[in-house]
Amino acid sequence: MAVSTSTPFSRVSSGSRCGARVKPGLRRRCLMMAKQQKTRFYILGRCVSMLLCWHAHALSD
C-alpha cells in the first residue's frame, strides 16, 4: 500500500530556485486580477474618449 505525500502546495513553479513551493491557484488568480484591471482600464478609456468626442460635437452645433 503506497501512501501519497503530495499536498495541494507541492507544485514547484518552473522558474523558481531551491525548490520553492507555490500555491497552485495563485498564478491563475493573479492573471484573472490582471485581466480584470486591464478590462476596467479599457472601459474607462472608452468612456473618457466618448465623453471627449461628445463634448467636441456638442460645441460644434
Q: Where do the domains of the chain lie?
A: 21-61
- pLDDT at residue 25, as a whole number: 93
Q: How many helices (H) and strands (E) does the chain have?
A: 1, 0
Q: Which position has the higher pLDDT, 12 or 44? A: 44
* Among 3, 2, 26, 1, CA closest to 13: 26
pLDDT, tens digit (0-9, with 9 covering 90-100), for 47-59: 999 988 886 666 6
Coil, helix or strand at residue 21: strand
The three-class DSSP label of residue 45 is helix
Q: What is the pLDDT of residue 42?
A: 98
- Provide the 8-state DSSP code for 5: -
Return d(Cα 45, Cα 24) in angstroms, integer: 33
- pLDDT of 28-43, one tens digit each? 999 999 999 999 999 9
